[in-house]
Amino acid sequence: MKTTAVRMYGKNDLRLESFDLPAINEDEILAKVVSDSICMSSYKAAHQGADHKRVPENISENPVIIGHEFAGEIVEVGARWSHKFKPGQKYSIQPAIYYPDGPVGILSAPGYSYQYIGGNATYVIIPKDVLEQNCLLVYNGPGYYPASLAEPLSCVIGAMHANYHTRPGSYVHEMEIKQGGRMAILAGVGPMGLAAINYVVNRRDRKPSLLVVTDIDQKRLDRAAEIFSVEWAKSRGIDLVYLNTSEHTDPVTRLRQQADGEGFDDVFVFAPVPAVIEQGDAILANDGCLNFFAGPYDPAFSAKMNFYNVHYAFTHIVGTSGGNNDDMVEALECMSKGLDPAGLVTHIGGLNAVIETTLNLPSIPGGKKLIYTHKDLPLAAISDFGTLGKSHPFYNDLALIVEKTNGLWSVEAEEYLLRNAPEI
């Protein structure tokens, strides 16, 4: 089987190439990739090359396929796995492989570490490592892009589950956000923040009574409010507030006022900015938990924290990086039951757009950049479809489709693209 893929040979050295995949053995699965969502983690890996903790040292001789937020269809199943998987099934991948019996420090992951599996490819071989750790997950919901976005959603789910609270006189950590409590998501209208809003409001088992989402960009706040409205949240029992902290000389006081002066039980920080972390620390309630969700680039990154409150107000801090298998399963289940992550997606492109997009990701505004790996398309903002459609009927048709969903990507739009976009 021939595949076309974006492979990494070194720092900033990504190449779009076609090559033959070997025949699968009994412990492997051949799969078609349909969609991949480009992540900031891929940007970091591309710029760090072999210095990245998940990237092998020998990539100049044995390049790896990049991309880890992908979905597609199973094509051929090795004999050992034929009882569990069938050709034609849709799938998603949990890239954070867990090695319970392996040596400490093993961090191999699809999209970082393997020659024949990664999201930016037309076909891949799913190896024994993924299968034995139950990291190949069947997806039964509509479309493909929701399954691609299951991995980022699982990161949000994992963060919510990782928060904890205590009771006076007890050292038992009660895991999870506080039921009926006050929650703040700071710098929360980027793609992952939007995923968090979507998940928090759609949850049925546990949710806050107040959710305050902040940012310093009013346009992004307004767009978030269009996608996830205050009224929509209210209908699900949550008072949702969008707050531009740049409009307040003392945002900490303003935020605490929003929480009736009591502070917040759960605070999530979605930007690796010391001032935002310190703001989050300052608005914690008694027994409040701050989750540092954003992954910093600098190994020496630090911020101040009030340790008086750690001692006397029992405030906590946690950090999470990725979700586990249970979180991925929950993400896929949420999507199968109707949670649509389309609000995260702002750009669409083909496999030919991956290299430039990955290497320049921080400078491209908007949310998730969704790649259809069998297609030859430039990266285009969904909001630009109407303009592009004046000279390209393909984009005009897409513009009319997404108009039905308030400018959001949709299964209908995806199906049209898969039928009509040029092949790579």
> Residue 201 is encoded by which pair of tokens?
């409001």
Evaluate whether 33 touches 121 at the Cβ level (below 8 Å).
Answer: yes
Last residue of a domain, one of 287, 319, 351: 319
Same structural domain, 412 and 293 = no
* Residue carrying structure tokens 């699982």: 154
- Span 158-168, pLDDT tens digits: 999 999 999 98
Residue 98 pLDDT level (bands cut at 50, 70, 90):
low
To the nearest 10 degrees (0 to 180), the angle between helices 393-403 and 411-420 is: 170
- Coil, strand, or helix at residue 338? coil
- List 176's β-bridge partners, or say none: none
Residue 412 pLDDT level (bands cut at 50, 70, 90):
very high
Same structural domain, 169 and 308 = yes
Same structural domain, 108 and 201 = no
CA angle 34, 40, 44 (to 5 degrees): 115
Q: Give me the mean pLDDT over the 325-343 stretch.
A: 89
Helix, strand and coil in the chain, % to nearest 5 = 35, 25, 40
Give percent above pLDDT 70 in the chain.
98
Q: Which domain holds residue 207?
A: 163-319
Evaluate whether 39 touches 69 at the Cβ level (below 8 Å).
Answer: yes
At residue 100, the pLDDT reads 60
Same structural domain, 173 and 95 = no
DSSP state of 295: P
At residue 344, the pLDDT reads 87
Q: What is the CATH number of the domain that holds 87?
A: 3.90.180.10
Instruction: Reply yes or no on whether the pLDDT at 59 is more than 90.
Output: yes
At residue 32, the pLDDT reads 98
Residue 191, CB half-sphere, CA atoms under 13 Å: how many? 25
Same structural domain, 134 and 100 = yes
Same structural domain, 210 and 251 = yes
Same structural domain, 186 and 209 = yes
What is the average pLDDT value for the chain, to the nearest integer? 94
333 domain-assigned? no
50 domain-assigned? yes
What is the Cα–Cα distance from 135 to 198, expressed in whole angstroms? 24
153 domain-assigned? no
Same structural domain, 398 and 307 = no
- Span 388-397, pLDDT tens digits: 999 999 999 9
Same structural domain, 133 and 196 = no
What is the Cα–Cα distance from 399 to 331, expressed in whole angstroms? 28
Same structural domain, 231 and 122 = no
Residue 325 pLDDT level (bands cut at 50, 70, 90):
confident
Same structural domain, 12 and 125 = yes
Closest CA to 138 of 73, 48, 189, 79: 73
What is the Cα–Cα distance from 224 to 130, expressed in whole angstroms? 35
> Residue 56 is encoded by which pair of tokens?
């092998």
> Residue 91 is encoded by which pair of tokens?
């799938």
DSSP state of 422: P
Residue 279 pLDDT level (bands cut at 50, 70, 90):
very high
Evaluate whether 206 touches 180 at the Cβ level (below 8 Å).
Answer: no
- The count of structural domains within the chain is 2
Evaluate whether 15 touches 133 at the Cβ level (below 8 Å).
Answer: no
- List 64's β-bridge partners, or say none: 8
- Span 75-87, pLDDT tens digits: 999 999 999 999 9
Q: Give me the mean pLDDT over the 238-253 stretch.
A: 97
Residue 101 pLDDT level (bands cut at 50, 70, 90):
low
276 domain-assigned? yes
257 domain-assigned? yes
Give residues with Cβ within 8 angstroms of 312, minimum separation 6. none
Same structural domain, 6 and 64 = yes
Last residue of a domain, one of 319, 350, 378: 319
Q: Give me the mean pLDDT over the 44-62 stretch.
A: 94
**Amino acid identity at 77:** V
44 domain-assigned? yes
At residue 192, the pLDDT reads 87
158 domain-assigned? no
157 domain-assigned? no
Instruction: Reply yes or no on whether the pLDDT at 216 is more than 90.
Output: yes
- Span 246-266, pLDDT tens digits: 999 999 999 999 999 999 999
